[in-house]
Amino acid sequence: MPIKSESVIQDIIDAVESGQFIISDHAALRMKERNIDFSDVEEAVYRVTREEIKDSPTNDGLAWKYALRGFNDDGNKDIRLVVLYLEKPKMLLITAIDKNE
């Protein structure tokens, strides 16, 4: 099992700012269903906290999926993000959930 990254929050911010934050097809579908815009996700990234208890290994056990939670600028969306490293600095958004819904 790989070691968890301690810099995941900064790595997400870096990925967003460098255009290396990629939305999976699954995440895009779920965001549409849940009325979450990419701008909501971008805003939440700057306010996230780790939900380490929700982290889980990938099915193949070769990487970690990281759970984070933050609010958009308006504060009306409490968004859980699940992300996975591709290759630094690339990160993949697996899903986004508005915990207020």
Q: How would DSSP label each residue in 16-48?
A: HHTT-EEE-HHHHHHHHHTT--HHHHHHHHTT-
Structural domain boundaries enclosing 57: 8-98
Cα 8 from chain centre: 10
1 is a domain residue: no
Cα 2 from chain centre: 19
22 is a domain residue: yes
Which pLDDT does position 89 carry in this prediction?
81
Q: What is the mean pLDDT of residues 71-95?
A: 94
Cα–Cα distance list, 6 to 30, 34, 47, 74 (Å): 27, 29, 17, 28
Q: What is the dihedral of CA 50, 75, 88, 14, to 10 degrees?
A: -120
Which pLDDT does position 13 carry in this prediction?
96
| 51: CATH | 3.30.2310.40
3 is a domain residue: no
* Position 15 pLDDT exceeds 90: yes
Which pLDDT does position 47 carry in this prediction?
95
Q: Rounded to two decimals, what is the model's pTM?
A: 0.93
Q: What is the mean pLDDT of residues 44-60?
A: 95
29 is a domain residue: yes
- Cα angle: 59, vertex 54, 57; to 5 degrees: 20
Our count of domains for the chain comes to: 1
Which pLDDT does position 54 carry in this prediction?
96
2 is a domain residue: no
Mean pLDDT of the chain: 95
Local confidence band at 87 (pLDDT 50, 70, 90 cut-offs): confident
73 is a domain residue: yes
